[in-house]
């Protein structure tokens, strides 16, 4: 059976997905979920953002997609979490969560 990512349906679920991404390795692979990967996780994240686009508004949606793309690039550049690029990706998760929840961002990569 192939892995089918869960597409978040609400802003709260997107925040939860980002929290799960924070706990995993930069590759997003998980032995318990064969087929889970950077590709499947970013598909779920970006599809969830599309579903929430109206609630987010265009400006916030555009910023979140830009942050998602940057975060993915950092993780793909450092799949073993050894060069510091993955750390920058994790910081962007915090920025995205802050933007989604209305909090101030904690860190700037």
CB-CB contact of 17 with 44 (8 Å) = yes
pLDDT, one tens digit per residue, over 69-108 is: 999 999 999 999 999 999 999 999 999 999 999 875 554 4
pTM (two decimals): 0.88
Q: Quick one: pLDDT at residue 88?
A: 96
Q: Cα separation of 97 and 103, whole Å? A: 8
Provide the residue ranges of all domains of the chain, joining segments of one domain with +.
Answer: 11-101
Q: Which of 86, 16, 90, 91 is nearest to 48 (CA)?
A: 16
Cα dist from 2 to 63, 66, 73, 86, whole Å: 31, 29, 25, 27
pLDDT tens digits, one per residue of 5-64:
999 999 999 999 999 999 887 777 777 778 888 899 999 999 999 999 999 999 999 999
pLDDT for position 95: 97
């Amino acid at each position: 059976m192939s892995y089918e990512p869960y597409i978040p349906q609400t802003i709260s679920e997107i925040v939860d997905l980002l929290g799960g991404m924070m706990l995993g390795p930069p590759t997003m692979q998980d032995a318990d979920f064969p087929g889970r990967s950077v590709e499947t996780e970013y598909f779920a994240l970006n599809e969830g953002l599309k579903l929430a686009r109206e609630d987010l508004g265009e400006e916030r949606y555009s910023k979140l997609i830009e942050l998602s793309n940057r975060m993915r690039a950092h993780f793909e550049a450092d799949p073993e979490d050894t060069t510091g690029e993955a750390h920058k990706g994790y910081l962007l998760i915090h920025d995205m969560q802050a933007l989604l929840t209305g909090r101030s961002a904690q860190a700037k990569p």
